Amino acid sequence: MTGPTVTVRAVPDVFTADDARHWVLLTRAALAARRAEIDELNVFPVPDGDTGTNLYLTLDGAIEDAAAALRAEGGLGPADLVRECTAMRRAVLMAARGNSGVLLSQLIGGLCDVVTERRLAALDAGLLAECLERGAGKARASVAHPQEGTILTVADAAALAARATADDDGTLAEVSGAAVAAAQQALIVTPHQLPALARAGVVDAGGAGCVLLLESLHRVVTGAWTATDEGLLSAGPPRPRDEWRSDAEAPAPAAETEGAAGPGQDGPAFEVMYLLTGASADTVATLTATLDRLGDSLLVVGGPDLWNVHVHVDDAGAAVEAGILAGRPERVRITHLVSQGGARDQVLPLGVVAGAAGPGIAALLEAAGAVAVPFGPGRRPSASQLVDAARRTGAPSVVLLPADADGLMVAEIAARAATGEGLEVHVVPARTTVQALAALAVLDPERTVHANVVAMTGAAVSTRHGAVTVATEEALTWAGVCHPGDVLGIVDGDVALLAGDLVVAAHDVLDRMLSAGGELVTLVVGEGADTALADRVAARLGRERPEVEVVVIDGGQPVHPLLIGVE
């Protein structure tokens, strides 16, 4: 007797929409794990140390924006490759940050173009090779003056290897594996193509990001991405990649790229980026030619209804004006390329973002030209809100004055994140409102950014701060046990005394603060406080310390009827 016939169904060798989702998420994890390491490789075209950060923030923002667009269309639902690529193509263009982020948008955008143009539900080996070819070609076409030894070289090598393997009837895994191997080899030799890389002893930063993109693709195709991705999906930091360091000798000086700044040379002072809408093909061509004359590292990508513009120039205003002539610039970001030696000491417009505990303080800050960010118990601003406020200043360099001890760490996170927004952000450690006001008072638009940060920091930390408030519950303090209704006198953040009256407490706080001297006392009156409170305190100071200047501000802050500063 013969047994029953068994039909074996072959699993299709295809890359699905679910695989695409896994790919972008795994790439984001890889870039997050390696962003600092890639930043350290960044010496070309400008040694500003942000390539890894820009690649990560570009992909992270694109994923979030694409997901939001899909939800708005009716929900994420089951993965659909055409729908996902349609959303991702626009999202990654809009999220692109820096030169490397724009090129990443083109690599991903080329893949998405193949899918959307041909309405593909999945990719086989040949189509995957076509996607890599389209992405590499699109990235190279976007650069006004392509340079070998960059991400372009790495992407080209990967695409060529993928095509050759697909033409030899290779499987999907063989195609992705060939692309990875070729990209890794191309990356290793980048220091032999760019003198700046050889001098620094590193490979190209953008090329390293491209390798991570392709390695993540291969892991998804082969299924080897759940247990072996050290530092991505498992615990512990990833080991440094030794192959990203080089001992190559720099090519002869003749190989130097025209317009690329080497050590001791001055390059353009600003990076200018914006999205452009309402532009025609003709006006975009004119814009491209104008920007090419103004600077270098030029990228104008996208179309037909949305373009992403990136250029390094000395005249940032002229670059933006050229965009206005071409269409409607949006999300304009101007970054001072501080790592360029000659640009560091320029006097630049300096924006200020400061925490405001009450409406009166906010009005005072805004009158002084700062962007006020309201805060208070239970409503402290997030890092993203601080970055948004920094953008609203419209300045390439911004100082953050948290005015809140609990907000200092968030401000530091915002400053790091703002690097990817094209902003140079400094945090001045103003822990209280009176310290923020003292720092703002010494801002001098004629000084350099560095000089202002030093002066504002000095003013903040040298301002002694105190307050009076009313206890709402029983608690143990440095001054003893307090009960609801007790008045607390606070000096430098600690409860220094207990009293039964606000005026008495304010006098005692000031006596302690002025014991070490002082020339200026600032009194900030809180929400609902008796208007006579500050007047009585000021009158006493006038009698007992006539040499001290007193400033009274209606702050409107909750919790503290009176904030006190001594300078």
- 386-436, pLDDT tens digit by residue? 888 888 888 888 999 988 887 888 888 888 888 766 788 888 888 888 999
% of the chain beyond a pLDDT of 70: 86
Kindly report the average pLDDT of the chain as a whole number: 82
Q: Where are the domains of the chain?
A: 17-235, 270-343, 350-461, 464-566
540 vs 422, residue with greater confidence? 540
CA distances from 141 to 53, 104, 490 (A): 24, 13, 63
Q: Is a pLDDT exceeding 90 seen at residue 68?
A: no
Fold of 464-566: Hypothetical Protein Tm841; Chain: A;domain 3 (3.30.1180)
Q: How confident is the model at residue 316 (pLDDT cuts 50, 70, 90)?
A: confident
Amino acid at 478: W
Domain 270-343 has CATH 3.30.70.1150: yes
- Secondary structure percentages of the chain, helix, strand, coil, to 5: 50, 15, 35
Is the distance from CB of 147 to CB of 207 less than 8 angstroms?
no
Name the range with the highest mean pLDDT among 41-45, 50-54, 180-184, 380-384: 180-184
d(CA 317, CA 334): 9
Q: How many whole angstroms separate alpha carbon 449 and alpha carbon 424?
A: 10
What is the average per-residue pLDDT within 379-384?
80
- Please say whether the structural domain 350-461 has been given the CATH code 3.40.50.510: yes
Q: What are phi and psi of 132, to 5 degrees?
A: -65, -35
pLDDT recorded at residue 8: 36
CATH architecture entry for 17-235:
Alpha Horseshoe (1.25)
- Most confident segment among 33-42, 432-441, 470-479: 432-441
Query: What is the rounded distance in angstroms from the CA atom of residue 223 to the CA atom of residue 13?
Result: 12
pTM over 0.95: no
pLDDT the model gives residue 260: 41
Q: What pLDDT is attached to residue 9?
A: 37
pLDDT in tens, 198-253: 888 889 999 999 999 999 999 999 887 554 454 444 444 566 777 787 766 655 54
Contact present, 300 and 284 (Cβ < 8 Å): yes
What's the whole-number mean pLDDT along residues 300-329?
84
